[in-house]
Amino acid sequence: MVCRARRLETIVTDSRDALNQAIAEHGAEADRIVIGGGDGTISQALPHLLTLGKPLAVLPLGTANDFANTLGVPADVMKAAEIALEGRPHQIDVGLVNGQPFLNVASIGVAATAVHAQTTELKHRWRMLSYPISLLHAARDSKPFVVTITVDGKTSWTGAVYQVSVGNGRFHGGGLTVADHATIDDGKLDLYLVAPGTAWQLMACITHLKFGFSAPALLHRSCATRVTLTTSKPRASMPTVRSRRRRRRSSRCAVRASR
């Protein structure tokens, strides 16, 4: 790795609060901020990073690294570090769900349940497969719910679903693909929903999202700049901060475009 006269300050943190404190104390003086971690680490720091407005670079040291994969950051940490230090900034979109920023996806239903059900042991043992495994377990124990989906002001769906995911980037959940054409700088949100079906059909949805196999009929996709999800009963959504988890009947997603 070649570093051209750039002064580095390395800070190791062991909690969300410590990470945000480090950003608050040192971020204003930095030319750019490099975070080594995974999607959870970046998500926790995102509100503070947006407030600072400094360029962000990522070292993919997490379990799934979906955000880094969306950006095309190499899995090799040394190569990623060289890009972090020498690369040119590029503006990307940021998703908003009820005013809370996100980079990968916002979800309700099985996907949100799977995220909250993941454990450190499961992540360490199965790595990128930990989320699909949690997704299968959550689907087995979940029931469909009724949702009305409004896309750019027009109702596109009213009916039962297992899951609705609204993506800002291309990947989520350990390499599940929101949409093949999705990019993180196109000013668009890509949405997919999973309607009720058999266990085999639900498994087919997961294998399609992970490996690109033929899409089952119960998987529906669309694209928009604004999406509103309204359910008959309050439901937890993702992303959310665990200590402030809230259940809502309505989730409003929008995109803060890069241009």
Q: For residue range 232-254, what is the model confidence (pLDDT) as tens digits?
A: 888 877 674 443 445 777 889 99
Please say if the pLDDT value at position 148 is more than 60: yes
* CATH number, domain with residue 48: 3.40.50.10330
Same domain, 128 and 59: no
**Domain ends where: 37, 55, 90?**
90
**Domain ends where: 57, 90, 123?**
90
Mean pLDDT confidence for 15-22:
92
Pick the more confident residue, 249 or 258: 249
Under a CB-based contact definition with an 8 Å cutoff, are residues 70 and 169 in contact?
A: yes
Residue 1 lies in a domain: no
Report the mean per-residue pLDDT for the chain: 87
Question: Distance between CA 119 and CA 151 in Å, rounded?
Answer: 34
Same domain, 75 and 107: no
Residue 9 lies in a domain: no
Helix, strand, coil abundance in the chain, percent, nearest 5: 35, 30, 35
Q: What is the pLDDT confidence band of residue 113, given thresholds at 50, 70 and 90?
A: confident
List, in order, residues 6 or more apart from 49 with CB less than 8 Å away: 23, 27, 33, 56
Residue 5 lies in a domain: no
Please say if the pLDDT value at position 1 is more than 60: no
Please say if the pLDDT value at position 91 is more than 60: yes
The pTM of this model reads 0.87
> What does the pLDDT read at residue 242?
40
> What does the pLDDT read at residue 32?
94
By percentage, how much of the chain surpasses pLDDT 70? Answer: 92
Residue position matching structure tokens 């030319």? 31
> What does the pLDDT read at residue 234?
83
Same domain, 71 and 137: no
* CATH number, domain with residue 174: 2.60.200.40
Number of domains in the chain: 2
The DSSP H or E segment spanning 25 is helix 16-26
**Domain ends where: 39, 64, 90?**
90
Q: Which domain holds residue 41?
A: 16-90
